[in-house]
Amino acid sequence: MTDARQGDWVKVEIDAGVMTLTLARPEKKNALSNAMYGVLADSLEAAEKDPAVRVVIFQADGDSFTAGNDLQDFAAQATGAFTGERHVIRFLKALANATRPLVAAVHGQAVGVGTTMLLHCDLVYVTPDARLTVPFVNLALVPEAASSWLLPARIGHARAYAMFALGEAIDGGTAVAWGIANGSAELSDLRARARAAADQLAKKPLGALTTTKRLMRDAEKIAALMDTEGALFGERLKTAEAREAFMAFMERRPPDFSKVS
């Protein structure tokens, strides 16, 4: 069952054919907890069944889109303290299988899944100073959300490898230039830009939109790759390297992988 307080960390609104999902945990830079993933997954699954929902927008309160997965959750999984369903898996599969157009408004930090989820969005708008990172290797982990295929396909192997392996960040302007985002807007205009695009999509013939999206994406291949990545990700969480990465983060020190490799 989703904790009521944590459920409040994602706001869900439906208006004029547009479902808006707002990450609302600004004091933690919208780090995604298991319960938050549950609300996001539930919402995307509901959107697929609701004829009143024609488009979905992702946005966030505070100074960041999301700091990525809550590292407390990662640590709990690494130590075996976590039990129950991992709703992140449901969320990623919902992204893979979404037929409704997905729009994202991204500002500040977009870490890990905060960047990889954008590869499943159909329109992405960023602030110029947005900072996109996928530092999985820094945490002794591997890419997820089918990003091991989708990111190189979008921006090329060399750029994707530097982002994955070196943890290199890119700003909003670079995200637009590389084709991760459609355009940029200042923070004061960001949500309006994304909403205007969503409103345009909501007026289009839904059948034509969903068929076009299906032709452009191999959802079955994406979902299968998510399973492969997810299995390896789970294995990596249990390694000594991952434990060292999470302990170093908690202790606010650089990790020393030489003693565990």
The kind and range of the H/E element at 20 are strand 18-23
CATH code (residue 175):
3.90.226.10
Band of pLDDT at residue 259, cut at 50, 70 and 90 = confident
Q: How much is the average pLDDT of 145-159?
A: 98
Q: Check residue 81 and give its pLDDT.
A: 60
pTM summary value: 0.93
**Chain segment 5-19, per-residue pLDDT in tens:** 555 899 999 999 999
Give domain status of residue 198, yes or no.
no
Band of pLDDT at residue 3, cut at 50, 70 and 90 = very low
Give domain status of residue 58, yes or no.
yes
Which two tokens mark 176?
């637009």
**Domain count within the chain:** 1
Give domain status of residue 260, yes or no.
no
**Cα distances (angstroms) measured from residue 30 to each of 68, 121, 231:** 8, 19, 25
Give domain status of residue 86, yes or no.
yes
Give domain status of residue 126, yes or no.
yes
State the burial class of residue 50 (Cβ atoms within 10 Å of its Cβ: 0-12, 13-18, 19+): middle
Q: Is the pLDDT of residue 230 over 80?
A: yes
Enclosing domain of residue 165: 4-188+203-250
Give domain status of residue 226, yes or no.
yes
Strand 10-15 to strand 123-126: parallel, antiparallel, or no bridges (unpaired)?
unpaired
